[in-house]
Amino acid sequence: MSGNPHARVDGATIAIGGLTLVGCVLFAKADLSDLEVGLFRAVNGLPGELRTYVWPLMQYGTFITIPLLALLAIAFRRPRLGLALLLAGVVVYLLALVVKEIVDRGRPAALVDGVHAREVFGPDSLGFPSGHAAVATALTVVVAAHLSRRWAIAAVAVALVVLFGRMYVGAHLPLDLIGGAALGALAGGVANLLVRPTPRSSNPRTPTASAG
């Protein structure tokens, strides 16, 4: 770990992500707060036309994005990045499923009246944590460590749209998203420690590795 210039950042990311996740789990088992419901209603009640623009970017948090980005990284001769993306993405996707069963918190429609459901969810579908938020955050943490600042900013921007979009379509409450993002940060930080980023000076001269 001492040879990794990002080790301290990754360690802090893991610690903050872990503590935040624990706190979110505890709050998720309690009653809904007025603040959480109010924030959800404000986003979920926005015009339906926004879905056309939000939906494509939300795919950044789906499972299929994980192998696609990993293959793209390998195609640009960034095998470490590809491996880290694959590791963080797959692990956090599976962990999110486990945590869902432990917390057993329903989707917004099961907890809040008048939800605008812009996606179809099963009657027993669970909301905490958001798998989309977990995957998007895990991938973003990896990208931020392995690529330049411009790519990190772009990844953060898309991840924020994912979080916004999951509330907008009625899939998750705010706490679901915070918990998912915390789980993603934890997984991304661990992946970066296990698969160290290539030193900047030895990065291949490809568009993906350009200085930002």
**Other Cβ atoms within 10 Å of 154 Cβ, number:** 15
Q: What is the pLDDT of residue 1?
A: 47
Closest among 158, 92, 85, 187 to 130, alpha carbons compared: 92
**Other Cβ atoms within 10 Å of 54 Cβ, number:** 18
Q: Could you tell me the CA-to-CA distances from 55 to 26, 59, 73, 192 in Å, in that order?
A: 30, 7, 24, 29
Task: State the average pLDDT for the chain.
Answer: 91
Question: Taking 70 as the threshold, does the pLDDT of residue 100 lie above it?
Answer: yes
> pLDDT digit string (tens) for 140-172?
999 999 999 999 999 999 999 999 999 999 999
Q: What tokens were used for 45? A: 């009640």
Closest among 60, 95, 127 to 119, alpha carbons compared: 127
> pLDDT digit string (tens) for 45-92?
999 999 999 999 999 999 999 999 999 999 999 999 999 999 999 999
More confident residue, 50 or 4: 50
Residue 174 near residue 129, CB atoms below 8 Å: no
Q: What is the pLDDT of residue 208?
A: 46
Bridge partners (DSSP) of residue 106 are: 126
Distance, CA of 134 to CA of 140 (rounded, Å): 10
Residue 6 near residue 84, CB atoms below 8 Å: no
| Number of helices (H), then strands (E), in the chain | 9, 0
Question: Taking 80 as the threshold, does the pLDDT of residue 203 lie above it?
Answer: no
**Is the bond preceding 129 in cis, omega lying within 30 degrees of 0?**
yes
pTM score: 0.90
Q: What is the pLDDT of residue 201?
A: 53
Distance, CA of 54 to CA of 105 (rounded, Å): 25
> pLDDT digit string (tens) for 169-194?
999 999 999 999 999 999 999 999 99
